[in-house]
Structure 1
């Protein structure tokens, strides 16, 4: 039997008089497992010393702890047991944990000195001298882990609360950045027992786990560790371990640190923004070691992590089902109350879907930014009017990104718009670029998302942009808005939003086919209706669209064909007008080009194929022959 396998040994600990024996007996009876009174393992000389009013020292306790450890090892394969043991110091608890094979679940009972003193003075027929209570409180080092239970309730209520804690699903979280802390608090709110770990890095990451537990101790009890081995030994088997660390080499580094301690069927959940190919590699590597792995996308940012994100788990379905109660309990809820968390598929599918979520997010963020930029600096609309227009649009679109953009347009600092104080150089963390790489790999056009990524790249070239701006002049509107501009702006915006989503879902569909993931685009749309960054009314409509036509491109769906036919003239007018006045519209322009390309039965690609055949002998297919047959031509005509 592996260390910690099977039912745990429960040790009810605390100072004398706190109620260890009565609580432990009741717990053992409820769980139908043996009870052992720790005091009965004291050698006679210890009992005499305490009876005479002398406190025990560390040396006195060695024989006692050794005897308890021996008894734990004798009963550990019999289905668990409940022990009492004061275990006042961490070194005593470590002694027992290091010398027993079982996982020990500590139940720390505590109460005020005055309350316990009064209890002990009324207690009869016990060798412990009440006058030693002060020394016990002086010696006490409360554990950073385990179930902490104040004994100010009735014995029945105390027992029920302990049983509730024991029955909670359990998980360990590694990494207590903003997202890790938010998820831990969210889980605690949803009756999950959370044990946290954060590394110690002098001068950079010090006492992170301790401080997190201390800052939240009024509402929650988190078992915390800064020692990885102790953290892993404490978790129940098979372990559920959620990683919330920076994507890339850091994930591999943490996994390498974990591996020496992991056992069969332990589960690692990578909830960061890892590349899907890294996830697939990790699944394969860990499968050889019989360790399970879920690559899990989590969207919603800090607010979502704390209050309910959209969750996209991929990997082993059995592994997902094991932690589904935890993940689904913390997820946002759709309009029917169902969790915005669903098994995505095998391999790296969960992280791939999260990557495309972020790609669509890139496109929509840039879309909002460029429409704001055009309206303010080229149409000379006041900021207040733009915010009001966005608010009116959002009555129909219900877009989270539009919602936060309205808040941004209202935020001032010393009577100045805060937005005007922010440097126009956008950052990125990679998922947008990864989407573009995936599009190249799978041969899918990703115009709007790629344009959004490139827009961020060029935004960082601030100095050269400023120099170039002085060299080129564009005509500008004279401040008079042309007819119907408000309606046309909305129609154009909405169609670009549809095109951007069409592009993202098209790549999801192609990747699913190539990898045999069997992605359910309707279900993915559903879990993106709340909790995530790209939630909007459009996402709600996609649920039925993909349910009716799972593989169909959105621009071939009758509902969106109708919308596009109504809005395409507005899109063309807004896009071309804006660019003619010198306003960059990268996502809008790319949406126009994608739409025109996608709706053209005759493209310009035949000329490209002829050129390729001319200089590279790449061959081409013919319109008058079956697809799949290739031909070559010697193009140069000799005189």
Structure 2
């Protein structure tokens, strides 16, 4: 087979197929391979008119179709299947070639694979791809890791097929060595969990406290999407809330089982944050909320637990089943918007804090401004305010946290009155809002002059002689709690 393809894709399920079509639509000749040959034939038969494809029936044929240095994208299930495919192709490619893993791999697996293939002279590029099926076809946000040399060969291809930000810049950029790309994608997904949870809580409050219907809440969300909350997730939420179930005529949201599933990337984010010692309670609350929703056994056992006293006026202490008067509905919706925006900023700030920590831990040198830049389009968490996050880190690369940016800090300060009232209202009505209330607790924890951690540390020293530091002088100390309670330096 003549080497004529600039890029190859192996693994032609929906994401792989759409990615291959995207490359072809953008003028690249694309080699195709799939373990089941019928899938390759089907792609060519249905979409061959979109560009130049070179179908291959075997792995050696596939590799032979690629121009040097060869660039091939692996789109198979994460874990063992990825390892198996990589081993197969590592035997077929040559030093200097580039193998891309475009799946949702754990970044530690990517680091292991990159090191092993590097020893064989092969460039391995763990690449986060966000945007789902539609993004893969029309332009995703792309987060490649790997060596700088590999990006020289691969970057122009990825930047061509990536989404375009409002300023025309491609939403693809080199994140850093080995596992940096998959790490950034993991945190992206964690932020996505938090964002979705916050939106769900806002919906729940508007429905259970204000008494709005799903269709009316959709109109509220459409209004928000024209302002500072302009984002893909707000946009699609409005569409979901207007959808009616064809079989029952009921709002679609009412016939969907209230058990949210997850594929694991949010959980990975929280586990990794714990390892790094980075607080990401917004993401953690979202992961736990999904887990709680699925524990139907616990929910059924606790269904009879007492809550706020039922009342029909929507006031303090009621379940909020009655409809608020129009003026009060508008006022409450404004409070919820302030709370949602503030909590959203907190969650994104936690994500960037984690990316910075991971970059330092692994020596990746991730550009925080670049991360925001490539998330402005194509990805699930694309939002208008990401350009402001990009600008904040571009203007102040040493910014310790997004919350220290004067513009964002000012917005949180102005929102806190409505934010606190929303949290109090949720508590009075018995409406769970762990994301919104947890974000407020995080905000208050950061701004506190002194935290009760001092008592925690004293307790640890009492029962375990774990020692403590003093606030008034340097050094490590221990109090002889079981003796004369004198203080010593261990």
- The TM-score with structure 2 as length reference comes to 0.92
* Aligned-pair CA distance for 1:487: 1.4
Q: Deviation per CA, 1:543-595: give whole Å up to 9, x if none.
A: 11111222321111111111011001111111121122111112112101111
Question: What's 2:481 paired with?
Answer: 635
Q: 1 CA distance for matches of 2:343 and 2:210?
A: 20
What's the counterpart of residue 531 of structure 1? 378
Between the aligned partners of 2:211 and 2:205, the Cα distance in structure 1 is 8
What residue is the counterpart of 1:104 in the other structure?
Answer: 2
Aligned residue in 2 for 1:182: 18
**Which residue is 1:511 aligned to?**
358
Q: Does the residue aligned with 1:268 lie in a helix, a strand or coil?
A: strand
Structure 1: 4+ residue segments shifted above 6 A: none
Kept in 2: contact 1:210–1:225 (CA 8 A): no
Which residue number corresponds to residue 222 of structure 1? 53
Number of positions where the alignment pairs a residue of Structure 1 with one of Structure 2: 468
Alignment of 1:120-519 (within 5 A): 170-200=6-36, 207-396=38-227, 397-414=229-246, 415-475=249-309, 476-477=319-320, 478-480=322-324, 482=328, 484-519=331-366
- Compared with structure 1, are the counterparts of its residues 229 and 495 closer, same or farther at alpha carbon in structure 2 (3 Å cutoff)? same
Deviations 1:327-373 (A, max 9, x none): 00000111221111111111211111111111110000011111112
Extract unaligned runs of 5+ from structure 2. Answer: 310-318, 486-490
- Whether 2:441 is the aligned partner of 1:593: answer yes
What SS does the aligned partner of 1:104 have?
Answer: coil
Return the offset for 1:217: 2.6
The C-alpha deviation readout for 1:21-52, integer Å capped at 9, x for no partner, is xxxxxxxxxxxxxxxxxxxxxxxxxxxxxxxx
Larger radius of gyration: 1
Alignment check: 8 A CA contact 2:24 2:50 kept: no
How far has the Cα of 1:221 moved from its partner?
3.9
Q: Give me the whole-angstrom Cα distance separating, in 2, the residues matched to 1:520 and 1:258.
A: 32
CA distance in 2, matches of 1:451, 1:551: 28
**Aligned-residue offset at 1:210:** 1.2
CA separation of 1:104 and 1:560: change in aligned 2, threshold 3 A: closer
Q: Which residue of 2 aligns with 1:82?
A: none
Take 2:80 and 2:467, find their aligned partners in 1: how far apart are those partners? 43
Work out the CA distance in 2 between the residues paired with 1:296 and 1:444: 24
8 Å contact kept, 1:213–1:221: no
Match of 1:109 in 2: none
Per the TM alignment, residue 637 of structure 1 is displaced from its structure 2 partner at its CA by 5.2
Alignment partner of 1:567 out of 415, 426, 449:
415
Deviation at 1:248, TM superposition (A): 1.6
Matched, 1:551 2:432: no
The separation in 1 between residues aligned to 2:398 and 2:416, in whole angstroms, is 24
Distance 1:222 1:104 in 2: 13
Checking the alignment, whether the CA contact within 8 Å between 2:9 and 2:74 is kept in structure 1 is yes
Cα pair 1:368 1:402 within 8 Å, conserved: yes
Structure of greater relative contact order (alpha carbons < 8 Å, 6+ residues apart): 2
Asked if the contact 1:509–1:551 (Cα under 8 Å) also holds between the matched residues in 2, the reply is: no
Which deviates more, 545-554 or 175-184? 545-554
Is 1:621 matched with 2:442?
no
Q: CA deviation at 1:315?
A: 0.9
Name the stretch that deviates more: 385-394 or 373-382. 373-382
Cα distance 1:637–1:572, how it changes in 2: closer, same or farther (>3 A)? farther
1:236 shift after superposition: 2.6
- Matches of 1:326 and 1:489, distance apart in 2: 43
Secondary structure (helix, strand or coil) at the match of 2:302 reads helix
Q: CA separation in 2, counterparts of 1:334 and 1:247? A: 29
Comparing 570-579 with 285-294, greater Cα deviation is found at 570-579
Matched residue, 1:131: none
- The unaligned stretches of length 5 or more in structure 1 are 1-102, 106-165, 201-205
Q: Distance in 2 between matches of 1:379 and 1:393?
A: 17
Per-residue CA shift, 1:178-209, capped at 9, x if unaligned?
Answer: 11111111111100111111113xxxxx6111
Contact preservation (8 Å) 2:28, 2:52: no
Give the alignment's TM-score, normalised by structure 1: 0.71
- Counterpart Cα distance in 2 of 1:619 and 1:463: 42
d(CA) in 1 for partners of 2:307, 2:457 = 38
| Residues 73, 99 of structure 2: 8 Å contact kept | yes
Q: For residues 208-246 of structure 1, what are the alpha-carbon distances to aligned partners after superposition, in whole Å with 9 as ceiling and x for unaligned?
A: 111111111333342222422222233233321101111
Following superposition, the deviation at residue 307 of structure 1 comes to: 0.4
- The Cα shift of 1:439 comes to 0.9
Rounded Cα–Cα distance in structure 1 between residues aligned with 2:211 and 2:9: 50
Cα offset, 1:288, TM superposition = 0.8
Indicate conservation of the 8 Å contact 1:399/1:535, yes or no. Answer: yes
